[in-house]
Structure 1
Amino acid sequence: MKTQPDALVIDLDGVIRHFDPDVRAPQEAAAGLDAGAVHAVAFERHLLQPALIGQHSHDQWAQGIAEGLVDKHGLAPVAAHALVDQWMSYRGEVDPTALAFVAEVRAAGVPVALATNATTRLDADLRLLGLADAFDVVVNSSVVGVHKPTREYFKVVCDALRRPAERCLFVDDDDRNVRGARAAGLSAYRWTSDADLPYLRAALGL
């Protein structure tokens, strides 16, 4: 008989927090760049990976993005740094329904871990978004030195919750992370929208 999960592990970006591309597109257009140009540079593996495992700070990541914009798009260094600062100033928006679900789960006595690949800016973001006290556990990849979807990352999460993997339900919008969680022994569900909530409630016995 399958074990019913009694702990929730939930992703941040794409589930609880969302970024509206229309906010950043005018910033890029004003610098003469196509929409998504800064994101494309920022998420290049050689820049992002060190920031996600704590080898580089958030500020070092931002510096690398600015340098990449100079190299790839010919921006002047001052303009590149100004654009990155402006791009970084937008910290996204919280999905109130997803956040209410987290509160509902915790109110039912089920612990909730925020499991996110993030930079050293995460704690400041959580305070800014009003999420500093929204979770029982926060597992930030840049703090623990490993990231989703590795087995090592999920072990850290389960240990923090004091639960074996089979008693944890993982929710993420990235299929690669969902597959990694399942390989590590967790129940895992790919988030698509708030329409997923009835299933998740049932999975947790709520």
Structure 2
Amino acid sequence: MRDRARALLIDLDGVLRRWDPAPMIAVEVKYGLKPAALLETSMSWDIYRPAMAGEISDEEWMGLVASRLPLDGPEASAAVAEWQAYRGEVDPQALEFVRGVRAAGRKVGLATNATDRLRGDLDALGLTGEVDFVLSSWEMKVHKPAPEFFQQACLAIREVPKHVLFVDDDDRVIRGARVAGLSAYRWTGPEHVPYLRKALDLPD
């Protein structure tokens, strides 16, 4: 029988923060870009990885995205700026889950791949005070699903891996967390919150 988790590590994008595709689509239509051009360009591994690993700033990353768009310089920069103006929305049910975990006396750490823009986003979203720790790949200089990320996260939250529940929406990251010895669960929505509460030994 697995030990009950004593602390929670939870992802930001796709869990605590959700994204409405409409603002991105509107920018692409306005500038004549193909669907998902901005997201696909930003996720190109050769520029995404260093942005998440703290090797380049968010501003530098977005500059590289603009340089790869089929637009002239000023227009490309304007398109990226308009796309980035929308910073997502808090998922109220995920936040309710986090608040319940903390109210029961369990520590909660936000564990996310992010850039140096993360702290400002958390302030803008009202999430800064909603967790006990913020564990950012940009600050840690290592990104999920590297084992070192989970090792550093457990040290920060002061729990051994077997006593930490990790919640993320990415299968690859979930596998990495499990390899590192954490209990890990893929978030698909709030319908499994009762299970997650039991994993943390919390009452229904």
Report if TM-score (shorter chain) is over 0.5: yes
Aligned counterparts of 2:82 and 2:38: Cα–Cα separation in 1: 11
Give 1:186-197 correspondences, 5 Å limit.
186-197=182-193
Q: Which position in structure 2 is the counterpart of 1:18?
A: 18
What is the CA-CA distance between 1:196 and the residue it aligns to? 1.5
Give 1:12-161 correspondences, 5 Å limit.
12-69=12-69, 73=70, 75-161=71-157
Gaps of 5+ in 1: none
RMSD over aligned CA atoms reads 0.7
TM-score (normalizing by structure 1): 0.97
Aligned counterparts of 1:166 and 1:45: Cα–Cα separation in 2: 31
Q: Sequence identity, in percent?
A: 49
Tell me the amino acid that sits aligned with residue 133 of structure 1: G
Q: Does 1:166 align with 2:162?
A: yes
Tell me the amino acid that sits aligned with residue 86 of structure 2: Y
Helix, strand or coil: the match of 2:134?
strand
Aligned counterparts of 1:54 and 1:44: Cα–Cα separation in 2: 16
Tell me the amino acid that sits aligned with residue 104 of structure 1: G
Gaps of 5+ in 2: none
Tell me the amino acid that sits aligned with residue 28 of structure 1: E
1:83-142 per-residue CA deviation (whole Å, 9 max, x = no partner) reads 000001110011011001101100110000100000000000000000111110110000
Aligned counterparts of 2:186 and 2:27: Cα–Cα separation in 1: 32
